[in-house]
Structure 1
């Protein structure tokens, strides 16, 4: 790939204290020192299963998507934090390869979710294109439950979230006002892909400040998008209850009265022959419940996307972006993704060695256990240009 026009840079996130400080790293048996970790500077999403049971398909879907989004956020944080401390050509090549794989995964998943998964959810619910997002504006789907000072404004440079609606009004609109839910996220990801492809081939050209600027520009759009989509998916439960509800009793009684009246008129007509045998009219086939259609749709779309992943790049990365100490604390049990022990051994022993140098920058081991970021420098140390 050739050179690219850099995206507009934004100010770096503030340095904050890591929530990993009080954790005991598995296999090390000690409390980690006060250092940043991959749950910052951009905050993770609290999966719905942390506070409620995900019995309804809509809640289960939102929970699974939240885990995927958190993996993306851990990747974004880990890459941003370590970028200033990557110096040797070998480290630069491995690091840029990882950034490229991460950006490609986010791009492909984002395109699949916006272009396939959500439209199929709308089909299952009987909504028109864009109907799910329209419904969220009436049910409080996006930003629901956010306190003042949190939510979208937090990442848009507005600490109290003022002007939130104004920011959303034109966000993601294409020519002629056509709504494009992905906004500028694909273009920002493409900037990162272009830069890392060029730098991987020429490590001495690596610029930490350039890469951090690209990641920060992406985060300004990606982070609120990832957070806001969870309540949007959760509100599908209310839509299922509304769309699956039977006709009102008033309508039913009116229909019954009309049928009886028609029957009485036919019996009083002299020319109407009396039927010798009364057969029950066939019942129309019952349509599947919306919740059932959502479950089937989610399974089909996630299966098709998983089958498209490169087993030697995406899989070794994704399993090391899950944190079982966070994703695993659920009401209904289970850790995303739900992989068997043999599957994890296969990823560790057969799929990971090919690009092993790149996985050392990731925040967890193959089992999903958190570990310190290897390239972080000492407290107060500043990374320089390679």
Structure 2
């Protein structure tokens, strides 16, 4: 599939530690976090690439809902990181402030993301794909830079303070449990499953999430996601994580960032 036809750009995906380091010890939590970050980046790329390709009121309405769900998922992830994961890791390792850089990076793009979120309430008649992309341009790079840098930060923490990765794994699993429990299956989990890519990095993470029953993609496809069927037209993959061509590309594609 041509790169311009899918969601691996313009914002670059994060190399997963499982791909770059193989079966190295202690990387479970960092690898899981990298997978999540790539889901958010693919979602953002799907928004950026299709923003100027929606034309009818129905398409615009569904697309703005897609944007709303993306920002809900990202905000929720960051909120639970700040509330649970960051302080838990710092306390367990006895390294107060070790996650402060990541926290500060959250603040760097908050205002611009709030402006984007407000714009998702625009009526179809007032919508401009160019304006929406301009809003993404205000926070896209610092957000994606953060999503890359946090992975390196966690790898550094694991290497220096948690070689076996047990502390990071314990607190990541607590973080993930709360994240999933507070997420809507038909809204947020459907988005997450549809922003995976089982072929990425030669399929090294194709079985993620490991604990999810095999029937979840079918459940999402056949029942739980039907009320938002029009919204899922903008997903970069099907619910099984198979990449597909974006349906609402404009005539020209943006260059890579």
Q: TM-score, normalised by structure 1?
A: 0.61
Show structure 1 runs of 4+ deviating over 4 A.
none
Question: How far apart are the structure 1 equivalents of 2:20 and 2:167?
Answer: 25
- In structure 2, the residue matched to 1:255 is none
Q: Structure 1 residues 337-346 or 366-375, which shifts more?
A: 337-346
- In structure 2, the residue matched to 1:53 is 22
- In structure 2, the residue matched to 1:117 is 85
Contact persistence 1:125–1:240 (CA under 8 A): yes
Contact persistence 1:100–1:192 (CA under 8 A): no
- In structure 1, the residue matched to 2:207 is 335
Select the structure with the greater relative contact order (CA < 8 A; seq sep ≥ 6): 2
* Per-residue deviation, 1:70: 0.6
- In structure 1, the residue matched to 2:128 is 207
- Alpha-carbon RMSD: 2.3
Larger Rg: 1 or 2?
1
Contact persistence 1:44–1:73 (CA under 8 A): yes
Alignment of 1:242-281 (within 5 A): none
Contact persistence 1:56–1:237 (CA under 8 A): no
Partner residue of 1:72 out of 37, 40, 43: 40
For 1:151-203, what per-residue CA distance to the aligned partner results, in whole angstroms no more than 9, with x for missing partners?
xxxxxxxxxxxxxxxxxxxxx9xxxxxx8341232222211111112x1xx21
Unaligned ranges ≥5, structure 1:
1-19, 22-33, 135-171, 173-178, 243-289, 381-386
* Per-residue deviation, 1:334: 4.9
* Per-residue deviation, 1:220: 2.4
Which structure: greater helix fraction? 2
Question: How far apart are the structure 2 equivalents of 1:323 and 1:291?
Answer: 26
- In structure 2, the residue matched to 1:364 is 237
Matched, 1:223 2:141: no
Matched, 1:298 2:172: yes
Matched, 1:190 2:114: yes
Contact persistence 1:125–1:239 (CA under 8 A): no
Contact persistence 1:124–1:293 (CA under 8 A): yes
Alignment of 1:1-386 (within 5 A): 20-21=1-2, 35-57=4-26, 59-128=27-96, 130-132=97-99, 180-197=104-121, 199=122, 202-240=123-161, 291-326=165-200, 329-330=203-204, 334-338=206-210, 339-378=212-251
Q: TM-score, normalised by structure 2?
A: 0.90
Unaligned ranges ≥5, structure 2:
none
Contact persistence 1:327–1:336 (CA under 8 A): no
- In structure 2, the residue matched to 1:166 is none
- In structure 2, the residue matched to 1:176 is none
